[in-house]
Structure 1
Amino acid sequence: MKDKKNDFSIEKPKLPIDLEGIESIGQLEDESYISSGVIGGYIIENQVADAVTFNEVIFKNSTFIGSSLNYAELTDVRFEHCDLSNVDFRNSIIHRVEFINCKVMGINLSESTLRNVRFNQCSGDYGFFSFADCKAVKFQDCELCYSDFQDCNFNKVGFYNTDLTQCQMSGTKLKDIDFTSCNVDGIGARIDNLRGAIFSPVQAVSLSKLMGIIIR
């Protein structure tokens, strides 16, 4: 059960109800600007571009393959049933964005700024979030095994019914985060990072290994 005291709301993407379909976005170039449309069944393959902007866009059943989009800016964007595995979004700004039923395995959001971002029912093992600045970010019913959240700045970040097996969170303050609905087996964090985090009694026994405590 979620701790209502530590729950919070996030803003949804502000998307016009009359968005029209975009048939093609072509070859992305540095500082490309894609705005106001629905992109369905599109494949973005091996594209490399910096500072691309997506604004008021819905991606449906689209695939990003081998693409590197560093310094991107995504505002009011929704991804539905998309495959963004191994996409490189380093140093990007992600604001009012939803990832719904997406594959985000190995996605790289390190050193990015995330504001009002929701991951819902996503497969995201081996994701990279290190050094990200996250405020109002929720992971609901996700798989994030072996993901890297080291040295992040967390402010109103929630994990709900999410698999965090072997995740690395060293250097990230986890105060007030409720992990009781999650699998935290093998989670990596320093003792001072865990101060104020919320765990179940069973989880606490598992985490005792981090503190060198022997329970008999």
Structure 2
Amino acid sequence: MASRTFGRVTVTTPALDEPGLYLSVVDSLDSPRGVVQDFTYGDVDLRSLSLTGIQLITGRVSDVRAKQVEFDTLNLHGVEITSSDLGSVRWSRSKLTRVHFRDCKLMGTALDDVVLDDVLFEKCRFDYGSFEKVRATGSVVFVGCVFTEAAFTDCDLSDAVFSDCGLRLTDFGGGRYRDTDLRGNDLSQIRGVANLVKVRIDPSQQTDLAQALVDELSISIGDA
């Protein structure tokens, strides 16, 4: 079983290179049976990609480029998604288990009511994205990701890890962040500092949070 460790958190990742596992090439991620299993799919340019009520189990998705993406009740288990550009993806009412995203662009993404269980996002871009009611029920790690002006609202990111991420003007709205690990990030330009109750930071990041709070409250500092 493949895994990666980040600080106190270990993520179980898809084991797609195990002996005896054969992945068949498919030309679509849709299926009348509602299940696509043991598959590989990719190297396609699409105007739109829409999937509803589908389960993707044990497979690879790579080099998929789609301008508009809509996923509803799309559940993933043991899936790797790499080098893909899923523009303006709307993803709702779904569960992701043992999923690894790497080198993907999900700019402007909107995740709503999505459950994450053993999910690793590596070198992905979520600029201007929105995360609403996203829940981490297992290990969740964002490493080397960019969240410029992204927003988290009513999420439970307890025990999640953000490592070496770009958090410029990222808004951490109301939600649960107990033991969320923010060490190793520049926090000086984040928003919603007051909501980050019981997160983990390095001693050196106290100055970052103070600066973020001063900016958020528009506090003037000086003698004049």
Fold similarity call, TM over 0.5: yes
1:165 paired with 2:141, answer no
**Secondary structure at 2:211 match in 1:** helix
- What is the root-mean-square deviation of aligned Cα atoms in Å? 2.6
1:123 is matched with which residue?
Answer: 125
Unaligned ranges ≥5, structure 1: none
Q: Which amino acid in the other structure matches residue 182 of structure 2?
A: F
Of Structure 1 and Structure 2, which has the larger fraction of its residues in strand?
Answer: 2
> Alignment length, in residue pairs?
211
**Secondary structure at 1:77 match in 2:** strand
1:22 paired with 2:22, answer no
1:148 is matched with which residue?
Answer: 151
Q: Which moved more, 1:140-149 or 1:82-91?
A: 82-91
- Check conservation: 2:161, 2:180, Cα contact below 8 A: yes
- Measured against aligned partners, the alpha-carbon deviations of 1:132-158 in whole angstroms (never above 9, x if no partner) come to 112311110111111121110122201
- Measured against aligned partners, the alpha-carbon deviations of 1:185-206 in whole angstroms (never above 9, x if no partner) come to 4322162x22322251331321
- Check conservation: 1:150, 1:170, Cα contact below 8 A: yes
TM-score (norm 2): 0.82
- Check conservation: 2:47, 2:67, Cα contact below 8 A: yes
2:53 is matched with which residue?
Answer: 51
CA distance in 1, matches of 2:71, 2:129: 16
Structure 1 residue aligned with 2:208, among 197, 200, 203?
203
Structure 2 residue aligned with 1:183, among 181, 186, 198?
186
2:3 is matched with which residue?
Answer: none
- Check conservation: 1:166, 1:184, Cα contact below 8 A: no
1:85 paired with 2:95, answer no
1:11 paired with 2:12, answer yes
Q: Which moved more, 1:10-19 or 1:72-81?
A: 10-19
CA distance in 2, matches of 1:161, 1:88: 26
- Measured against aligned partners, the alpha-carbon deviations of 1:21-52 in whole angstroms (never above 9, x if no partner) come to 414117x3676322111113133442333212
Q: Which amino acid in the other structure matches residue 110 of structure 1?
A: D
Q: Which amino acid in the other structure matches residue 156 of structure 1?
A: D
2:65 is matched with which residue?
Answer: 63
CA distance in 2, matches of 1:31, 1:148: 35
CA distance in 1, matches of 2:213, 2:150: 21
- Check conservation: 1:163, 1:182, Cα contact below 8 A: yes
